[in-house]
């Protein structure tokens, strides 16, 4: 379980560091081609989501790595689950049901990290 947790958590963290970093650092115009939903969401909310994704990525890795409050990894994974639920809701409300595949994969992966974290940590 230890190895499985680290593989899945690190892969998910790398994705969220990249995606969250883009949301925090790039303008609406740069994000629009990849994330069409940013046209209807205020940029402070986009920045908040990006920050939450970065914190979730760090929260999945740092606590178990340092041994300080490793339960925070499970909390971070659950937070990322909630972000993906929100993403699915946004896509469905915009009629973009074809685009929720990645959200579902990320949701399932975050659930796996949370589950592995409860069995291993």
Instruction: Please give the Cα distance from 121 to 117 (Å, whole number).
Output: 5
Cα 62 versus chain centre, distance: 15
pLDDT at 119: 87
Average confidence (pLDDT) over 67-83: 96
Radius of gyration, alpha carbons of the chain: 15
Alpha helix positions (H), the chain: 2-25, 28-31, 43-66, 71-93, 101-120
pLDDT at 46: 97
Report pLDDT digits (tens) over 87-110: 999 999 999 999 899 999 999 999
Instruction: Please give the Cα distance from 109 to 9 (Å, whole number).
Output: 8
The conformation of residue 33, written as its DSSP 8-state character, comes to T
Identify the CA nearest to 98 among candidates 108, 107, 88, 110: 88
pLDDT at 121: 62
* CB-based contact 4:121 (threshold 8 Å): no
| Averaged confidence pLDDT in the chain | 95
Q: Which of 55-69, 81-95, 107-121 has the lowest mean pLDDT?
A: 107-121
């Amino acid at each position: 379980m230890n190895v499985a947790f680290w593989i899945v958590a690190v892969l998910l963290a790398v994705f969220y560091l990249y995606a969250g970093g883009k949301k925090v650092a790039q303008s609406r115009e740069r994000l629009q081609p990849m994330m069409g939903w940013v046209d209807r969401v205020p940029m402070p909310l986009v920045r908040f989501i990006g920050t939450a994704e970065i914190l979730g990525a760090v929260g999945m890795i740092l606590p178990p790595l340092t041994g300080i409050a490793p339960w925070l990894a499970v909390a971070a994974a659950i937070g990322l689950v909630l972000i993906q639920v929100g993403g699915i809701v946004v896509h469905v409300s915009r009629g973009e049901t074809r685009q929720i595949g990645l959200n579902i994969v990320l949701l399932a992966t975050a659930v796996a990290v949370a589950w592995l974290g409860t069995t291993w940590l």
